[in-house]
Amino acid sequence: MEKALTDSQTSSTRPLPAQANEGYVILDPLPYLQALWQKKLLLVLVPLLSGAILLGISYTRPKLYVSTVRFMPPARASATLLFAIGRSSGDEYRAELSSRTIGLDVVDHQHLIEYFKAKDADTAFAIVSGMSKFATDNNNFLTITVTSKDPKLSARVANEYFDALYRLNEKISASEAEHRLNFVSAPLEVERTRLRAAEEALRDAQQRTGLVAPSTQTTLGVQEIAELQNRISSLSAQLANARAGATDENPRVIALQAELSSVQAQVRQLQSKSSQVNSPAQLPTMALEVLRREREVQFHTTALDSLTKSLESVQVTESYTPSFAMIDPAFPAKNKSAPSHGQWLITGLAIGFLLVVTQVIGRTAYRILLQDEANQRRVMAYRNAFRSSYTRNAG
């Protein structure tokens, strides 16, 4: 029994035959853990050494200071529907902050060409762009973050970005207002010309017809003819009554006949003047013409008033620039934000530990691989081929 157990243990530790083990690597973690335990001193010393090196390097790195501006941008009424879908006004203002126009404006107002000793504005703009970051949070607040070696410079540049954005939007608002002003001004001048022409046509019609108040004057003309006709009827009745009790030589009959003839003459005179301008017969036609001219004047007056109000609204808009609600202005940072010595130390420790683990696991896997005779022959063949190639190249 004991002999069988000993034979079994011996066979389990004996390498596998080449035929059974060829092309395979047994991934047993025990040899790797044993190798790591044997190199435990290196697992401690190498990470400490690399951590100390990176920690020392961190003290040689320049100190960086961060300044941040946070503000709430206004919503633009001119934003198109396609732009608004899936995006916000903060994205639009962030794109403006990243533009070359604002960057050069910041460079100019802060005299950064002289500060950076750059050869031109584009070079200074490239430096400022590398220092600056712009972000939009979930509440649609915009954040301007500037990082540099000088805390005062970081604060100045961050605040200047905010001012440059306001100046750019002031120009954009003025340009849009000017466009709307030109759009309204041209029809306004045309409407003024049309109103003057309509007023002159109304004046000519009034002078030609003599009608200033067509409705009233037409009514009076018709009433004049009707009253004369009623007067004729009344005089005819009176004359008939007078003749019933007297002769034609009676003075009253003679007076009534004379008055009736006079009224009839007036009616005939009015009716005979139908071809003349001031004839009551032509009053409806003349009144219609004047009324049409008055309606034209009223129409153009209403249109002119509407365009004038639009022009006043545009002029008010032209003098208005959307305000940016400043939440947090930038101040010179008192404490540096980088380099972080703790991060450098942790990075060094991690690099050293990974180097040792990789080296130990690699060597252990290579040693396990060479336990197979087929793998040994392949490795020897690769070595001989490499040596012969190196010898030929060296010769």
Average pLDDT over residues 259-272: 70
Average pLDDT over residues 272-298: 65
Same domain, 101 and 173: yes
Domain-ending residue, one of 328, 360, 380: 328
Write out the two tokens for 230: 């009623």
CA proximity to 71, closest of 329, 289, 364: 329
In a domain, residue 1? The reply is no
Same domain, 104 and 30: no
In a domain, residue 369? The reply is yes
In a domain, residue 267? The reply is yes
Confidence at residue 223, expressed as pLDDT on a 0 to 100 scale: 64
Same domain, 90 and 172: yes
What confidence category does residue 122 fall into, taking pLDDT thresholds of 50, 70 and 90?
A: very high
Same domain, 108 and 133: yes
Same domain, 355 and 249: no
Confidence at residue 69, expressed as pLDDT on a 0 to 100 scale: 92
Same domain, 194 and 313: yes
Confidence at residue 170, expressed as pLDDT on a 0 to 100 scale: 84
C-alpha span between 138 and 192 (Å, rounded): 51
In a domain, residue 2? The reply is no
In a domain, residue 333? The reply is no
Domain-ending residue, one of 309, 328, 347: 328
Average pLDDT over residues 220-234: 67
Confidence at residue 321, expressed as pLDDT on a 0 to 100 scale: 60
C-alpha span between 257 and 251 (Å, rounded): 10
In a domain, residue 272? The reply is yes
C-alpha span between 84 and 92 (Å, rounded): 10
What confidence category does residue 123 fall into, taking pLDDT thresholds of 50, 70 and 90?
A: very high
Same domain, 193 and 313: yes
What confidence category does residue 64 fall into, taking pLDDT thresholds of 50, 70 and 90?
A: confident
Same domain, 37 and 149: no
Instruction: Give residue 234's identity as a one-letter amino acid code.
Output: S
Q: Which residue has the higher pLDDT, 89 or 366?
A: 366
Is the Cβ–Cβ distance between 123 and 172 less than 8 Å? no
Per the prediction, the chain carries an average pLDDT of: 76
Same domain, 21 and 73: no
In a domain, residue 3? The reply is no
Is the Cβ–Cβ distance between 152 and 160 less than 8 Å? no
Whole-angstrom CA distances from 371 to 14, 33, 366 are: 11, 18, 9
Same domain, 193 and 314: yes
Eight-class DSSP state of 246: S
Confidence at residue 174, expressed as pLDDT on a 0 to 100 scale: 78
Average pLDDT over residues 6-26: 41
How many domains is the chain built from? Answer: 3
Domain-ending residue, one of 285, 318, 351: 318
Q: Which of 196-200, 279-283, 316-320 has the lowest mean pLDDT?
A: 279-283
In a domain, residue 252? The reply is yes
Residue 24 has pLDDT above 70, yes or no: no
**Residue 288 belongs to a domain with what CATH number?**
1.10.287
Same domain, 200 and 292: yes
Specify the long-range contacts of residues 209-214, CB closer than 8 Å, at least 24 apart: 209/277, 209/278, 209/286, 209/287, 209/289, 209/290, 210/277, 210/278, 211/283, 211/286, 211/287, 211/290, 214/286, 214/287, 214/288, 214/290, 214/291, 214/294
Q: Which residue has the higher pLDDT, 1 or 314?
A: 314
Write out the two tokens for 355: 């180097």
**What percent of the chain is modeled with pLDDT above 90?**
14
Measured in degrees and rounded to the nearest 5, phi and psi for residue 150 equal -105, 115
Strand 132-136's sheet: what is its strand order? Answer: 132-136, 142-148, 65-72, 325-328
**Residue 170 belongs to a domain with what CATH number?**
3.30.70.1130
Same domain, 229 and 303: yes
Q: Which residue has the higher pLDDT, 27 or 325?
A: 325
What confidence category does residue 280 fall into, taking pLDDT thresholds of 50, 70 and 90?
A: low
Confidence at residue 239, expressed as pLDDT on a 0 to 100 scale: 67
Domain span at residue 380 reads 11-60+339-394
Element (H, E) at 99: none
What confidence category does residue 164 fall into, taking pLDDT thresholds of 50, 70 and 90?
A: very high
pTM above 0.75, yes or no: no
C-alpha span between 63 and 375 (Å, rounded): 54
